[in-house]
Structure 1
């Protein structure tokens, strides 16, 4: 399977000047369990270093096992569907979400949009959840449908994998 990684994209139908394209030389997984949606994180080694700047930046990581309290305001992003049976958008979507703890598991950060049917959806998987400038989650799954108002959205809790991420980065550096 040939996959192209594109950094710096905003509009999927436009070849923007800030875009950088890469191939993947290695994939690192950490005991992913698809039946339970556990450890739903992976790291990709690109074929060359990215050029950092206004369009492409490195996300700050939390501390290992850092917690995130209920009510924390975060930003979720992605190009996923605009609803369970809706089309995918042309431009990157951003959504202000609130951390919740009900129905959540220790391996996840869960969010809702209060009093509004909005949230992550199919196609957003792998997208970031940024809270206070720190990457706290990686979009993982929804229950039943998108923006149900009954169930939170589930993100893999990045703080559980910080030590693993650093160990992979140490081994992957040229």
Structure 2
């Protein structure tokens, strides 16, 4: 099993590389204004490493992403870029925010990627405009039915092996029944995960797409979490509706400037 997050020199800078979502297509510029690009730098005894992840704006002061995007060791610095299409150039629409506080779910476990969810607090807040907007989340009682058509956007690899994409790509994906994921992933949890994929074509999110949203019916229902290294189908997404109470609890604390023991770049 392999993290979809890429930690290597392939993403030395957020505008380096040429890979994309596997089997996807380039989206119309700025047509996904909720998308966030995360540049994650980790400094430890081995030196400085840079990785890339996706995320999405759910409020002017909050971005949702995957917990596994943040390395567990070393000094971590996260930069969020909003309003981007081509991350290799400094577009006039881009807003760059250096994130100092983030909250990883207290029960997150890299063993099976349980509770793979993270909230980043933006300060200053994002400036909401035509190119930067937030996306709605499902309520705790909303469930996706098998066969629901969804989309996943990001700047991840286009091929295996590859590099982070210059431009935002998107791939269509379909919600599956639970059986393929229960068979392939011993730690698959139906209540907190979604089984997604396209069984008959080579289309999937991959390295660098972690943390991006699974958008179904104009809502972010899932977060790109994990899959198998040499198998594009299926992929496992964090089920956002299951975490609705935790998300809104953290958002209230954000509003009150209460940061419950979150990691910090300070």
TM-score, normalised to structure 2, is 0.61
- Over 3 Å counting, the alpha-carbon distance change for 1:161 and 1:36 in structure 2 is same
SS at match of 2:250: helix
- 1:163 lines up with 2:245 in the alignment: yes
| Whole-angstrom distance in 2 between the partners of 1:154 and 1:21 | 29
Corresponding residue to 2:196 among 107, 111, 114: 111
| Count of aligned residue pairs for this structure pair | 171
Moved >6 Å (runs of 4+): none
Deviations, residues 28-51 of structure 1 (Å, cap 9, x unaligned): 111111011111100000121111
- Partner residue, 2:84: 9
| Structure 1 residue 27 displacement after superposition | 1.0
Alignment of 1:129-168 (within 5 A): 129-145=214-230, 147=232, 151-168=233-250
TM-score, normalised to structure 1, is 0.92
| Whole-angstrom distance in 2 between the partners of 1:103 and 1:48 | 43
Does structure 1 retain, via aligned residues, the 8 Å contact 2:148–2:174? yes
**5+ residue gaps, structure 1:** none
RMSD of the TM alignment (CA)? 1.4
SS at match of 1:152: strand
| Whole-angstrom distance in 1 between the partners of 2:170 and 2:245 | 28
Alignment of 1:1-174 (within 5 A): 1-30=76-105, 31-101=107-177, 102-104=179-181, 105-106=189-190, 107-145=192-230, 147=232, 151-174=233-256
Which structure has more strand as a fraction of its residues? 2
**5+ residue gaps, structure 2:** 1-75, 182-188, 257-266
